[in-house]
Amino acid sequence: MITQKDDRMLELLWFVAYSGKLPTQLAQRIGGHPDWNRHVMYKAIEYGYVDRTKWYSGQRVYRLLRITDKGLSYIAMKDPQNAAMFLFMQERDPSHLDTEKAVRAHAVAVGLVMACNAGAVIHPAMKPSLLLANKYNSVKPDPVTSYYYSVREIREAIQEYNKDTVAKTSRILGAIVSDRKCYCLYYTGASRMYWRNPTELNTAASINALLEARGLPCDLMCQVIIGTNMRVAEKITRPGVNVRSKFITLDDEFNNCYFITNDEDGEALLRLITNRRLQESFIRSFMKDTYKPLDTVNRAVDAVTLDGQRPVIFSYECDLLRLASIDLVPIGFEETPIILCLDYQVDAIQNIVGGMVEVRAIQTPIPT
């Protein structure tokens, strides 16, 4: 993605230019050590490569970085191949934002950084284009590679197909396409936008049709919700929250509804969710000598204990749709199931499923 991998300044400016507005706290998560990233960010501000602006929304403060002409010149010098693309993107992205647009820019940048750290290809020149004109490239789809498409790229492609179809009111941040699955990213940060199911489902259907037409067919459409902490997952699954709430709501029109936290743990989980081979390795590692696979297919249960008496359900993906409808006594068993999840998910998942179900932490770390 970067012409000089050891150039942290170029890497930071690349993300600022590509996202349009990058939150200062996300700059610490763009590869390398957080303290060194912070040092690079302050140097970029000192040299005039980026502007740091501040917006207030109630008691919240949003600090965003915006690329300057001097920063674009630095990119043109270090990475001339992509200079024209970034210049085009800045012309369409006005420097002035109101508070609501600043909040939205913050959310979109979260999706970008998390997708990149989860292993998805984000560079336009390294992934198949959604545009018929193939404005940036003509890369052929690779079934084993994850591709991230920002909401801007999705809107441009949809409008190219039908100018009357615009998903401007959708809360989607972007989508990751991997292994014939599409993962639609959403963020539950403070925003005055309400969740409108018809709009979101129409947007997801448009994305599915678009991917099919561009040679990236998807059999499953999944929802990935990014939240501040696991308490947000509890709020989303509570009855009554799905009525005109600022939080994302569950909809069974999606095949899955995964919840991840906005931090390094969430990025590791997103990588695991979107990488089937990594999942298979992870399952083998924590099942060894502890649980065994089922003798017959059972969609409600993933494994059993070694004595075959208790069913085991894998919930490390934190699929809220599955957790909200979990069967306390699965067919073929007389005991309640054991739910396996990651250590930081235990308390939240226990509150979602109730006290009748045992929730255990998986001791095996997520493979990288």
In order of start, what are the domains of the chain with their CATH numbers? 1-95 (1.10.10.10), 98-274 (no CATH), 279-361 (no CATH)
pLDDT score of 318: 96
pTM above 0.85, yes or no: yes
8 Å CB contact between 306 and 290: yes
Asked if the model's pLDDT at residue 57 lies above 90, the reply is no
pLDDT higher than 70, residue 262: yes
Q: Per-residue pLDDT averaged across 162-180, rounded?
A: 79
Residue with tokens 């259907």: 205
Contacts of 159 (CB under 8 A, 6+ apart): 165, 166
Of 154-158, 201-205, 239-243, 257-261, the least confident: 239-243
- Mean pLDDT confidence for 245-250: 67
- Residue 55 phi/psi, 5-degree rounding, is -130, 150
> pLDDT category, 162, cuts 50, 70, 90?
low
Tens digits of residue pLDDT in 94-111: 555 567 777 788 888 999
pLDDT score at 267: 94
pLDDT for residue 25: 86
pLDDT tens digit sequence for 263-298: 999 999 999 999 999 999 999 999 988 899 887 777
66 has pLDDT over 70: yes
Q: Say how many residues make up the chain.
A: 368
Q: Mean pLDDT of all residues in the chain?
A: 84
Q: Which residues contact 3 (CB under 8 A, 6 or more apart)?
A: 10, 78, 79, 81
Task: Give the percent of the chain with pLDDT over 70.
Answer: 87
Q: Which residues pair with 292 in a beta bridge?
A: 304
pLDDT value for 3: 41
Give the pLDDT score at 2. Answer: 45
Is 271:179 a contact under the CB 8 Å cutoff? no
What integer is the mean pLDDT of 249-255?
A: 84
Q: Which residues pair with 185 in a beta bridge?
A: 174, 224
Report residue 42's pLDDT band, with 50, 70 and 90 as the boundaries: very high
User: Please, what is the angle between helix 99-117 and helix 264-273, to 10°?
Assistant: 60
Task: Catalogue the long-range contacts made by 165-171 (C-beta closer than 8 Å, 24 or more residues apart).
Answer: 165/206, 167/199, 167/202, 167/203, 167/206, 169/193, 169/196, 169/199, 170/199, 170/200, 170/203, 171/195, 171/200, 171/248
Alpha-helical regions (H) of the chain: 8-19, 34-47, 69-78, 83-91, 99-117, 151-161, 197-213, 230-237, 264-273, 276-287, 320-324, 346-353
Residue 265 confidence (pLDDT) = 94
- Whole-angstrom Cα distance, residue 247 to residue 239? 13
Q: Is beta strand 303-305 parallel, antiparallel or unpaired with respect to 311-314?
A: antiparallel
Distance CA 283, CA 361 (A): 13
Q: Any idea which of 162-171, 213-222, 296-305, 320-329 has the lowest mean pLDDT?
A: 162-171
- Residue 137's pLDDT is 64
- Cα(303)–Cα(292) distance, integer angstroms: 6
Q: Are strands 181-187 and 50-57 parallel, antiparallel or unpaired?
A: unpaired
